[in-house]
Amino acid sequence: MLNIIPYPKFAKEKSGAFSIDDNQGFKSDFDLPLVEEYFSASDNANIVFIKDPAISKEGYKLTVDEGEINIFSSGKTGAYYAFQTLKQLIDGKKIPCCEIEDEPYFSWRGINIDESRHFFGKEQIKKVLDYMLFEKLNVLHWHLTDDHGWRIEIKKYPLLTEIGSKREYTHIGGWKSFKKENKPHCGFYTQQEIKEIIAYAKERGIRIVPEIDFPAHSISAMAAYPYLSCFEEEQEVIGYFSWDYPKFRSLDFRANKTLCLGKKEVYDFVFSVLDEVCALFESEYIHIGGDEAPHSEWKRCEKCQKVIRENNLKDETELQGYFENKVFAFLKEKGKIPIGWNEIASAENLKSKECGAVIQYWTRNRDINAENYVNSGGKMILSNHQCFYFDMPYARYPLSNTYCYNPADYGVNSENLSNVLGVEGEFWSEWISDKKKLEMQMFPRIQALSEVGWLPAEKRDLKDFIQRWEAQKPMFEKLGINYAKDEIAFASNKHRAKILYKFTHGNPYLEVELNDKIKEQRR
């Protein structure tokens, strides 16, 4: 068995092995600086990258013989994917002889990193991009704005980062804890830093899709510019994460807010922000959020109610649809395709298909509007909570939930599977504040995610995947990556109920601590 993750579309093992020289070289039809980090470029090398336009964009063919290795691809991305396969096959200084023909099942194989709740910074994001390339993932959905911090420089609105990127405290201890750490948390990316990260990702075949969250999850913007809210009250950048619980509402820290959809200046702000975002990011997709928008302020706001009356809207749901339609039209003029969370599909007046808008399906409960959307021709990204919310403890969603994912279980008819762009894992960072936990939540979940994106459900085998993951563990140990041990990843340990309770009520880091104990016991 070839210990490759994700497993190739076709693979055949042969006898013998290719021996890696001490001064191993390669030659290529492409400029491959990432390969040069391992092997030197040489016209006489016996590892050869060959351009073949007939191969799909992310596909490759790989033949390993005792005397040479030939890699065929139509571009750099396929060449790099073949090289990741080679790196996984290396055993000492040997690579087993084999033939591989490979290409992904889904075109969108992504992860979402939330930097509003906790800011990780440029070097950590680059490391995440390196991890993504190794697992042949190709989309970084970058959640840059939310209630808890605005992380992207917008030159027209400097207060978004001067004020909106800083909070004075942070909620700790779990969703139903009332503890807070009275320590400032801040950070943002300049546009120059973002360009640097985009270039880093592009070399690795990774598209970066920014998310700028409107009309809810915008409190950090309202803290900077109070006129964006319905009632123009002074607002702090909040540090609590659990505003939707009744007991938190009683604290009255004014977290249940949305942008006012009855003011022209709010639309001017949104379009101006998106104008800079569109100019900065090369991606044809822009994520505009749209989830969890409460209606309470819109119901009380005379300006919002006037928009409802004058445009013959049924209610506040259609008011949000009216707003989204304007954003969609703006993005279409910019040559961009909008993405929104599946709640936006509930507005009957939403004109999403006209501009090719993509719905991202995340909710724990089935959403008939989202399912009707994809089954009637709309495009969709699948991020269903039970399988792809990687911020959740393994005790709640074990690794098998991800690996055994089948779109049919979430209402996507087989004949409409072509409307699905792909799959995406979510790393919301309320309870991920450091590299150590980020890595444990990430590995081996992103390996399972990658294989879901690479192979259809009927071609996947959990037992086989586990064996291949077991064979790769020494490589992760050598790299010092804090992956989840099996007792944690498969959530079969006796601490499961305790972990779930503590995650909500006291210690969201309990799995990390247990993982450390398991590692210590095995030394």
- Phi, then psi, of 215 in degrees rounded to 5: -90, -10
Q: Read off the tokens for 333.
A: 């003029």
Q: Which of 314, 353, 359, 354 is nearest to 340 (CA)?
A: 359
Task: Say whether 225 sits in a helix, a strand or coil.
Answer: coil
Q: Is 146 noted as a catalytic residue in this protein? A: yes
**Alpha carbon distance 228, 304 (integer Å):** 12
Dihedral sign from CA coordinates of 33, 36, 40, 42: negative
Residues in the chain: 523
Select which of 143, 148, 185, 217 is catalytic: 217
Q: Which residue has the tokens 């801040």?
A: 186
- Answer for the pair 259, 218: CB distance below 8 angstroms, yes or no: yes
Per-residue pLDDT of the chain (523 residues), as tens digits, is 899 999 999 999 999 999 999 999 999 999 999 999 999 999 999 999 999 999 999 999 999 999 999 999 999 999 999 999 999 999 999 999 999 999 999 999 999 999 999 999 999 999 999 999 999 999 999 999 999 999 999 999 999 999 999 999 999 999 988 889 999 999 999 999 999 999 999 999 999 999 999 999 999 999 999 999 999 988 899 999 986 544 555 444 456 689 999 999 999 999 999 999 999 999 999 999 999 999 999 999 999 999 999 999 999 999 999 999 999 999 999 999 999 999 999 999 999 888 899 999 999 899 999 999 999 999 999 999 999 999 999 999 999 999 999 999 999 988 999 999 999 999 999 999 999 999 999 999 999 999 999 999 999 999 999 999 999 999 999 999 999 999 999 988 888 999 999 999 999 999 999 999 999 998 7
With a CB cutoff of 8 Å and minimum separation 6, the contacts of 363 are: 342, 343, 370, 384, 385
Instruction: Exactly one of 146, 324, 343, 451 is catalytic; name it.
Output: 146
pLDDT of residue 255: 60
Q: How far is CA 161 from CA 233, 237, 238, 480, in A?
A: 19, 11, 15, 34
Please list, in sequence order, all residues whose beta carbon lies within 8 angstroms of the beta carbon of residue 113, skipping any fewer than 6 positions away. 120, 125, 128, 140, 141, 142, 143, 427, 429
Q: And the tokens for 197? A: 């990260």
Percent helix, strand and coil across the chain, each to the nearest 5: 40, 20, 40
Structure tokens of 394?
């393994």
Task: Give residue 251's pLDDT.
Answer: 44
Q: Are 140 and 128 in contact (CB under 8 A)?
A: yes
pLDDT of residue 495: 83
The two three-digit tokens of residue 493, written as one number: 């340990």
pLDDT given at position 355: 84
Integer Rg of the chain from CA: 24
85: amino acid identity, one letter: T
Say if strands 149-150 and 145-146 run parallel, antiparallel, or are unpaired.
Answer: antiparallel
The stretches of 218-263 forming alpha helices (DSSP H) are 219-224, 246-249
pLDDT of 247: 52
Please enumerate in sequence order all residues whose Cβ is within 8 A of that of 257, keeping only pairs 6 or more positions apart, or say none. 216, 218, 219, 222, 229, 230, 235, 294, 297
* Peptide bond before residue 393 is cis, with ω within 30 degrees of 0: no
Q: Count Cβ neighbours within 10 Å for each residue of 347-380 and write b for 16 or more, e otherwise.
A: bebbebeebebbbbbbbeeebeebbebbeeebbb
Q: 28 CB contacts (<8 Å, ≥6 apart)?
A: 35, 41, 48, 49, 79
Residue 217 a catalytic site member: yes
Helix (H) or strand (E) holding 145: strand 145-146
**For residue 344, which phi and psi values (nearest 5 degrees)?**
-65, -20
How far, in whole angstroms, is CA 375 from its chain's centroid? 24
Hey, what amino acid is at 440?
M
pLDDT at 1: 82
Give first-to-last CA distance, the chain, whole Å.
28
d(CA 57, CA 44): 27
Distance from C-alpha of 91 to C-alpha of 302, rounded to nearest angstrom: 69
- Residue 514 to residue 317: CA distance in whole angstroms: 44
Distances (CA, A) of 82 to 78, 327, 488: 6, 40, 31
In eight-state DSSP terms, residue 381 is E
Question: Which residue out of 244, 292, 434, 470 is catalytically annotated?
Answer: 292
Give the span between the Cα atoms of 216 and 316, in whole angstroms.
13
Tokens of 400: 């098998």
Q: Is 292 a catalytic residue?
A: yes
